[in-house]
Amino acid sequence: MIFEILTTFPGIIEAVAGESIIRRARDKGLVEVEAVNLRDFTSDKHKTTDDSPFGGGPGMVMKLEPVFDAVDTLISRRPGKVRVALMTPQGERFDQAKAEQLARENHIIMICGRYEGVDERIRRHLVTDEMSIGDYVLTGGELAAMVVVDAVARLVPGVLGDESSAESESFSSGLLEYPQYTRPAQYREYSVPEVLVSGNHKEIEKWRREHSLRRTLERRPDLLNSAPLTEEDRRTLVRIRKEE
Ligand code: ADE
């Protein structure tokens, strides 16, 4: 899985991708994360990547030539299927389903917008996906790109040590995760639910499913509309709702 990230701030990309699980995945050769400096694709002596907007108005616009030239170069270096993503608050909202879709790709080029925006021709003629990580405005697309890289890379087989952990968590099942506890079983007056230390695996599974449902109902009831629920789950939800 190759991520190439076009940016004028390669240090932000390296700072994030040089730590923890993503760093280990890179060392193992499972994912490649390369920051590509847009200034290397400029032709003027000031290495300009932005300019004032046609028609006037405040702010600067990201110029198209360095972006087109950089993407052309990256594609010719590694021919084959590629997605070209633009990180922008105007994009489609990034979520777990999109992460799963991108995890099936081999090569993703990400363009980090800066300034007030990017020349519209980049969007219209170069980009295959516009992605937003949420309804807020960052100073640039770098952190957003790294959110996407992190969420996608952890789905690549072998990146997480324990293969099962990518699956059992929040969102993959369509529900929020059940509460977790570890030793000690008693701390101050706070104890662990009895069933979890009982060793009864069937009861533990039941408790976990119920508490996933409870948590989802309390915090993200919208998820229940699309989560795959069994008849038993539906009965559990009816019972929980009656408690109120
Ligand atoms: N660039 C600035 N804000 C952003 C956001 N919320 N998502 C993606 N890219 C961005």
**Start-to-end Cα distance in the chain:** 48
Tokens of 100: 């799963």
In-domain check, residue 161: no
**pLDDT at residue 119 in the model:** 97
- Give pLDDT tens digits for 60-99: 999 999 999 999 999 999 999 999 999 999 999 999 999 9
Nearest-CA residue for ligand 1 atom 6 is: 89
pLDDT, averaged across the chain: 95
Q: Is 141 in the pocket of ligand 1 (CB under 6 A)?
A: yes
Whole-angstrom distance, CA of residue 78 vs CA of residue 118 = 25
For residues 129 and 8, membership in a common domain is answered with yes
User: Given ligand 1 and candidates 88, 93, 139, 147, which is best to mutate, with the most ligand atoms within 8 Å of its CB?
Assistant: 88
- Give pLDDT tens digits for 179-202: 999 999 999 999 999 999 999 999
- How many A from CA of 126 to the centre of ligand 1? 18
The enclosing domain of 209 has a CATH number of: 1.10.1270.20
Nearest-CA residue for ligand 1 atom 5 is: 89
Q: Is 144 in the pocket of ligand 1 (CB under 6 A)?
A: yes
For residues 139 and 204, membership in a common domain is answered with no
For residues 175 and 133, membership in a common domain is answered with no
| Burial group, residue 141, by CB count within 10 angstroms (0-12, 13-18, 19+) | buried
Show which of 126, 153, 180 is a domain's final residue: 153
- Window from 10-19, 76-85, 106-115, 182-191 with minimum mean pLDDT: 106-115
For residues 128 and 194, membership in a common domain is answered with no
Show which of 153, 188, 208 is a domain's final residue: 153
For residues 179 and 75, membership in a common domain is answered with no
How many H helices and E strands in the chain?
Answer: 8, 10
Tokens of 46: 């000031």
For residues 22 and 124, membership in a common domain is answered with yes
- How many A from CA of 145 to the centre of ligand 1? 9
Residue 193, domain extent: 170-243
For residues 137 and 186, membership in a common domain is answered with no
- How many A from CA of 117 to the centre of ligand 1? 11
Q: Does the structure show a pLDDT above 70 at 230? A: yes
Structurally, how many domains does the chain consist of? 2
Amino acid identity of residue 41, one-letter, is: F
For residues 62 and 87, membership in a common domain is answered with yes
**pLDDT at residue 244 in the model:** 80
Write down the residue that tokens 């990309």 correspond to.
Answer: 13
Rg of the chain, C-alpha, whole Å: 23
On whether the pTM is more than 0.85, the answer is: yes
Q: Are strands 117-118 and 107-112 parallel, antiparallel or unpaired?
A: unpaired
- Give pLDDT tens digits for 118-131: 999 999 999 999 99
- Give pLDDT tens digits for 201-220: 999 999 999 999 999 999 99
For residues 118 and 239, membership in a common domain is answered with no
